[in-house]
Structure 1
């Protein structure tokens, strides 16, 4: 039953997650140079987007894992209880991703302050807000799964 309403919201969460994997999360300006923070790298804008030596691989791995969880939830529509549990864990994963983004953004800003001359200006980019949007989509999908469970329980009582 991929045509259910909650499946559409899970699909929207998948699309949001994939967009987040490739979109910039933060933009930094320090010492006349620009830096972008993405899920898998921090790069210095300008000549060939030179990568900066800061390990942010755990964020990319957790974000990729969250997208895989959403895909698993989308295709576990025959087992509502399992789908509900996957969705709830996936919602927790998206909150964790948001916390990791905030943590890394503060650490990157500190790193740039220590190694650059001048003030560091940081601006959140579109990717920072995508985990919140994915969480909202999964929350709506989870409500739909709960309604389906209640509907099945009431149908079993009638028999």
Structure 2
């Protein structure tokens, strides 16, 4: 059934991945030159103090992973008849999200060392959406396990 509580959490996972795709993940501002480095799901951009784009590099793999997580969450919603498969899909989703967070950390840390910045920059809403999606995915798995336990207890009573 699509109206179960885990379906709501899985929809939140898909929505959070939409935020990740559409919003910035990280921003670093150089204090001395006024240049701004920003990372979103598709590009790492360097902008001058006037807003002119100086340099861009593609990060298509971040967008691909975020879209894959959103797609898996939508697929998982419609696997309600097979709760084992639904939990397996959600566990794969969790692994991809951990990889996504690790990639963002690696990119931002390498940029901080390259820039020799005094601070580490600021993680934006797009990054925090990944972490919110991870929590929602864990909650969805918890409610799927509760449904499975309920079904097993009903079978024992018969």
Q: Report the TM-score, using the length of structure 1 for normalisation.
A: 0.87
- Tell me how far apart the structure 2 counterparts of residues 98 and 40 of structure 1 sit (CA, whole Å): 15
- Tell me how far apart the structure 2 counterparts of residues 13 and 60 of structure 1 sit (CA, whole Å): 15
Partner residue, 2:134: 135
Aligned residues: 152
- 3-state SS of paired residue (2:57): coil
Q: In structure 2, list runs of 5 or more residues that go unmatched.
A: none
Q: 1:77 aligns with which of 65, 80, 95?
A: 80
- 3-state SS of paired residue (2:64): helix
Partner residue, 2:43: 41
Distance 1:54 1:110, change over 3 A: farther
- Tell me how far apart the structure 1 counterparts of residues 63 and 112 of structure 2 sit (CA, whole Å): 19
- Tell me how far apart the structure 1 counterparts of residues 83 and 111 of structure 2 sit (CA, whole Å): 41
- Tell me how far apart the structure 2 counterparts of residues 124 and 4 of structure 1 sit (CA, whole Å): 33
CA contact (8 A) 1:41 1:51 kept: no
Q: How does 1:101-140 map to 2 (within 5 A)?
A: 101-113=104-116, 119=117, 121=119, 122-140=121-139
CA contact (8 A) 1:56 1:104 kept: no
Q: In structure 1, list runs of 5 or more residues that go unmatched.
A: 114-118
Q: CA RMSD in A?
A: 1.7
Cα deviation, residue 120, structure 1: 6.2
- Tell me how far apart the structure 2 counterparts of residues 29 and 77 of structure 1 sit (CA, whole Å): 46
- Tell me how far apart the structure 2 counterparts of residues 9 and 69 of structure 1 sit (CA, whole Å): 13
CA contact (8 A) 2:29 2:37 kept: yes
Cα deviation, residue 139, structure 1: 0.6
Distance 1:4 1:124, change over 3 A: same
Cα deviation, residue 56, structure 1: 2.1
Distance 1:155 1:20, change over 3 A: same
